[in-house]
Structure formats: structure tokens, C-alpha cells
Chain A
Amino acid sequence: SQQGEEDPQALSIQEGENATMNCSYKTSINNLQWYRQNSGRGLVHLILIRSNEREKHSGRLRVTLDTSKKSSSLLITASRAADTASYFCAPNDYKLSFGAGTTVTVRA
């Protein structure tokens, strides 16, 4: 399975600010997923973007995909305390493999 590499490793922001994290991968993909993990709700699927899509929105989440650069970004707008979590990207679909993730801390 191909692992994504998330960057930065950690991010600390004030409530209400935006948070941006990036994902890079090595080989071509059909789609890319983002997941979130926190102690309360475990590991949860956030959004999937297909290789023929450049941008996708879901609520306060915005995901972009640049297949030429083999990279994706996840933007969380107007962050809340509940967004404190680790975020992982997973290139392709059937067999997931995550990197170390980006740990986001939202300060009140």
C-alpha cells in the first residue's frame, strides 16, 4: 500500500483561524482520502477526492489535489476546539496506509 506523507507534523492555531495541512505521495492514484483521529471518535473518514477532481468542499473542509505534483492539501476553515485531532491522508482506496499525520491543536 502507498503511504501518504503529511506536513507539517504539528500545527497549533487559535479558535476561529484556518488550518492547512499538506499530503504528498509517490505513485499515481485513483483517489485520495482524508481521515481524522481523536480520542473521542476514533478514526473517521472526512472526504475523498478523485484523481479527475481538483477541489472538493465538505462543510468547513476544502481539499485540493494536484496530480502533477502528487500532492493534496486539506484546509479547515473557522476552526473549533472539536477540530483538535490528528489528520491523515490515504492515497488510493482499497488498502489504506497512513503516515504519521498532522496533529492539529486548536486553542480556545
Chain B
Amino acid sequence: DVKVTQSSRYLVKRTGEKVFLECVQDMDHENMFWYRQDPGLGLRLIYFSYDVKMKEKGDIPEGYSVSREKKERFSLILESASTNQTSMYLCASRGEVIQFSYEQYFGPGTRLTVT
């Protein structure tokens, strides 16, 4: 079974703090993704990475950065947390497309509250 783990289930931070969210996958997947999920807005892509040290912006990258130094680990960084970044953050991974398999595997999520 593919396992995607996230460093925290719940996190409370203060405005202006630097926040690190860590994600680790154990299936040697090339592709990793960070999403945020908000009521009424659905699931939106923040950043993704298709290889070590490679990253691309998703639909809502403002206020976030990412780091992928090792294949299994993808970090999301909030340089200066703001209250509008209070959300559920979901990490996902996916291997190369084989036989049209595009399935993404999600971690359990980190519920971040910025006060």
C-alpha cells in the first residue's frame, strides 16, 4: 500500500510565523503535490513537483514556497503565516503514468489554524 504521511494532523500558529509542513511518501513516486481544501472553494493546487529540486506553481501559489531536496519528501513553507492561510492542507503523490493510471495518493491532511 502506498503511504503518504504528513508531519502534523493539527497545527496552530501565530500570524507572521514561518510554518513548515512536511510530506513523505514511501512509493518512490516522481510527482508530489500540495493542495489546500476550504469549505465552498473545494480543493486547489498550491505547488507541485515532478522531480527532485523541480517545482512548479499551481493555481494559488501566492504566500507559499516549496522544497524538494529528496525524492520522498516535499515540504510546503508559509514564509509569514496569515489568517487567510487557515485551511486543511493535503499532500499527494503519483507515480509515472502507466497504462493511463493517473491516481493520486493523499496524506491524511494537516489542519492549520493561524491566529
A interface residues (Cβ-Cβ under 8 A, vs B): 1, 3, 31, 33, 42-45, 48, 50, 88, 93-101
Q: 15 A-B pairs, CB-CB below 8 angstroms?
A: A1-B59, A43-B90, A43-B92, A48-B102, A88-B43, A93-B102, A95-B33, A96-B92, A96-B104, A97-B42, A97-B43, A97-B44, A97-B45, A97-B59, A98-B37
Residue B64 CB within 8 A of the other chain: no
B48 on interface, CB distance cutoff 8 Å: yes
Give me the 9 closest cross-chain CB pairs, A-B, nearest first: A98-B43, A93-B102, A43-B106, A45-B103, A99-B42, A98-B42, A42-B108, A95-B45, A100-B42
Determine the distance from Cα of A42 to Cα of B5 in the docked complex, in whole angstroms.
Answer: 12
Q: A48 to B114: give the CA distance in the assembly, Å.
A: 36
Q: Is the CB of A96 within 8 A of B40?
A: no
User: Whole-angstrom distance from the CB of A10 to the nearest CB of chain B?
Assistant: 13
Assess A95 versus B42: contact at CB under 8 Å? Given A48-B100, A48-B103, A50-B100: no
Report which residue of A43, A45, A93 has the largest number of chain B beta carbons within 10 angstroms of its beta carbon.
Answer: A43
Which residue on chain B has the smallest CB distance to residue A45? B103
Q: Residue B74 at the A interface, CB < 8 A? A: no
Q: Does B35 contact A (CB under 8 A)?
A: yes
Task: Report the minimal beta-carbon distance from B62 to chain A, rounded to whole angstroms.
Answer: 16
Q: Which residue of B lies closest to A46 (CB)?
A: B103
A101 touches B59 (CB 8 A): no
A-side contacts of B33, CB under 8 Å:
95-96
* B-side contacts of A1, CB under 8 Å: 44-45, 58-59
- Chain B residues with Cβ under 8 A from A33's Cβ? 102-103
Q: Which residues of A contact B102 (CB under 8 A)?
A: 31, 33, 48, 93-94
Contacts of B109 in A (CB 8 A): 42-43
Known: A45-B104, A50-B100, A101-B42. 5 other contacts (CB 8 A): A88-B43, A93-B97, A95-B33, A98-B43, A100-B40
Interface string of B93-114 (1 = CB under 8 A from A): 0000100111111111100000
A45–B95 CA distance with the chains assembled, in angstroms? 14
Q: Which of B33, B41, B42, B100 has the most CB of A within 10 A?
A: B42
